[in-house]
A = this chain, B = another copy of it.
Amino acid sequence: MTTDLMFWFIAISSLLGLGFAWYFYQEMMKIDEGTDTMKKIALYVRRGAMSFLKQQYRVVIIVFIIMAIFFAILSYGFNLQNHWVPFAFLTGGFFSGLAGFLGMKTATYASARTANEASKSLNAGLKIAFRSGAVMGLVVVGLALLDISIWYKILDFFVEEADQKHKMIMITTTMLTFGMGASLQALFARVGGGIYTKAADVGADLVGKVEAGIPEDDPRNPATIADNVGDNVGDVAGMGADLYESYVGSILATASLGAAAYFGSEWSNDIQIKAIFAPMLIAALGILLSILGIFVVRTKEGANMKQLMRSLERGVFTSSFLIAIGTFVIFYLLDLPNWLNLSFAVIVGLVVGLVIGFGTEYYTSSAFKPTQRIAEAGQTGPATVIISGIGIGMVSTALSVFAIVVGILLSFLLAANFDMANLSNGLYGVGIAAVGMLSTLGITLASDAYGPIADNAGGNAEMSKLGPEVRKRTDALDALGNTTAATGKGFAIGSAALTALALLASYIEEIRIGLIRVGNTTIEIGGQAINTADASITDFMAYYNIHLMNPKVLVGVFIGSVMTFVFCGLTMNAVGRAAQKMVTEVRRQFREIKGILTGEAEPDYERCVEISTKGAQMEMIFPSLMAVIIPIFTGLIIGVPGIMGLLTGGLGSGFVLAVFMANSGGAWDNAKKYVEEGNFGGKGSDTHKATVVGDTVGDPFKDTSGPSLNILIKLMTMVSIVMAGLTAVFSLL
């Protein structure tokens, strides 16, 4: 394949993805939104969601501008960075935000329509919800590849380097900056959205369900609109930005590893460029196969739940299966030296994602022992529900780590031709596995994003008093989404670990470039001078003493570990505080606005939306900025070994903590549902009340702190990569 052919295949795939997203969006918009009440409620939710995003972007833009100025000073003032950094950083943030925005816009238009269609049939509801989810999926992958393509062309045109080999390293590492923009925006979106949604959810539940005794989504609850807005800003916009970041991060990290691994005297320019394009080509093929998979998801009229489930699975599995085959074709056509092994690395990535997804399902689905045991523990009250939920969540991390560990070793060995010392090629294999894992994101994200749409449709149906059979159908759609979402989560969390590991290697490449930039063309190791441009990863390890007995490394590991815990603690506290404010407001409305509970007066929904918005904005800033500031200061004080320690410690603790929090939260949620299905006394029993406590604790676990950790890990690495120029040449100790 020629470079042009590869480039156009990628660019056209991305445009096709965006085109189909537009088509599905138009198709959805044609459908009737239902009764006037339905329209009104949808409008309330849409308005609340948009006002949140407006506020959010206002804050985020200020942070981005300050950081861009800082980067501009570093690059233009001190020549410590590539001159493209500030721009790449800004566009990464912009596109990540745009992906979330478009996904959310679609979701807020789709929910009333889904409710309306669900009043006709389950199948009609599924179709509209899933297709609207697909808009999000395709927008994310389409924008990502489009952005990558454009930047590649720009840099290819402007970057001037003596030889082609160095040029490619320069291009790919510069593009990583664009990843940092995406990560920072994603963290804000996840944390802000996560705090919003859980503050509203917890607040609405505590006063509404527990104190006033009114059901979920009851229009008499002043926080109910805020709760529905929360699903959109947290689960849709937040998730969109998050997965955009994961997708882009894995592709760019792998491309940069490809440029480094296939660099040097043994490789030709041609092979290096192919290694760079390989992850993008896999992603491009993934877009095409995702579109195909989305069309596979359709059932006959009158299909039952099981058939719907099959239909959804068929879509995802068709895409996954074809990508597995397609990978071999791509690598064969690329004719990379170890193409067969690299193809198997993609399979390793796909399998690891599936195993983690399966583990998530086993530990969080009420069909299995662990979650049932949590429900059983509810018989002795809320304390035992919490103890067993935490216990099971912690134990559940073993399976995910086992899968990741085996995945890392296998993909490394495959790509390194079974030579453990062949670091560059092995690490490229780890990156390729991450890309493989995320290659079907277009469709897995569709089945992920459709969950909150169905959830909101349920809320709309409830508030519009559409009758219990509609609510039952939207609940069925929601439950269906939970299962596919478990798989989706597995892919997101697994790919984060692999990508972060690949990014570690990219960090070393940035250090190399940083050294060269300031004129350190040789590094001295054990008295021997080695050309900086030719030094291996192992050489850099020796040069900076990045080994495990260096106290700087060990201290870095401590800092990295503690950052993940402090980050979770801060976001948990933020949810607690924001929820408290919501509780106070809802209580005030019940007290002051007479006639709310009898349905005679309408509560002040907007005030609750405003409180959640303000609470989330204020609380999101500190934990997010911590992720930027601590790596910078660690680098300035204890240098490259400290940063490497920090990133490794953060990766180790953060991955395990993320799996723990996601699984505990999910298991609590489903344990409650299990009791509601009539087990251990059913709805309203003391056991049920005990499991409701578990579910409430689990909310910030699984929807705020847990998923944000994935981004935190990568953002810390991205920040270090962007700051590498400074760290390479200066540290206090």
Contact = CB atoms under 8 A, between A and B. Distances in A.
A420 interface: yes
Interface in A565-590: 565-566, 568-570, 572-573, 575-576, 579-580, 583
A552 interface: yes
Interface residues of A, number: 90
A660 B427 contact: no
Nearest to A551: B412
B538 A545 contact: yes
B381 A210 contact: yes
Interface stretch (A74-82, A112-120, A341-349, A384-392): A384-392
Contacts of A541: 547-549
A69 interface: no
B652 A551 contact: no
For A391, A395, A579, the residue with the greatest tally of chain B CB atoms inside 10 Å of its CB is: A391
A485 interface: no
Interface stretch (A45-53, A264-272, A293-301, A400-408): A400-408
A426 B558 CA distance: 18
A394 B537 contact: no
B554 A648 contact: yes
A696 B383 contact: yes
Nearest to A733: B420
A636 interface: no
Given A557-B651, A570-B391, A653-B652, A697 B386 contact: yes
Contacts of A652: 557-558, 560-561, 649, 652-653
Contacts of A210: 381
Interface in A450-497: 497
A404 B558 contact: yes
A570 B693 contact: no
A341 B557 CA distance: 26
A426 B423 CA distance: 31
Contact of A409 (B392, B545, B551): B551
A386 B206 CA distance: 14
Contacts of A397: 562, 565-566, 569
Interface in A636-654: 638, 644-645, 648-649, 651-653
Contact of A656 (B398, B420, B552, B562): B562
A576 B405 contact: no
Interface in A515-571: 526, 537-538, 541-542, 545-555, 557-562, 565-566, 568-570
A34 to B, nearest CB: 35
A559 B552 CA distance: 22
A516 to B, nearest CB: 19
Contacts of A638: 409
A420 B552 contact: yes
A549 B412 CA distance: 12
A224 to B, nearest CB: 18
A549 B576 contact: no
Contact of A700 (B387, B405, B409): B387
For A206, A387, A388, the residue with the greatest tally of chain B CB atoms inside 10 Å of its CB is: A387
A48 to B, nearest CB: 23
Contacts of A380: 206, 579-580, 583
Nearest to A561: B652
Contacts of A555: 405, 408-409
B526 A569 contact: no
Interface string A690-707: 001100110010000000
A275 interface: no
Contacts of A426: 551
Contact of A420 (B551, B554, B557, B693): B551
A430 B551 CA distance: 10
Nearest to A412: B551
A390 B423 CA distance: 40
A308 interface: no
Interface stretch (A129-137, A160-168, A501-509, A609-617): A501-509
Contact of A388 (B384, B423, B573): B573
A377 interface: yes
A655 interface: yes
For A397, A638, A644, the residue with the greatest tally of chain B CB atoms inside 10 Å of its CB is: A397
A565 B404 contact: no
Contacts of A660: 565
B557 A648 contact: yes
A563 to B, nearest CB: 9
A682 interface: no
A726 interface: no
B386 A549 contact: no
A222 to B, nearest CB: 16
A644 B420 contact: no
Given A382-B693, A538-B545, 11 more contacts: A202-B384, A380-B580, A384-B580, A393-B569, A394-B572, A395-B573, A408-B551, A426-B551, A541-B548, A557-B648, A562-B656
The 4 closest A-B pairs by CB, nearest first: A394-B569, A391-B572, A383-B696, A541-B547
7 contacts: A206-B381, A380-B583, A388-B573, A504-B554, A526-B526, A542-B542, A554-B651
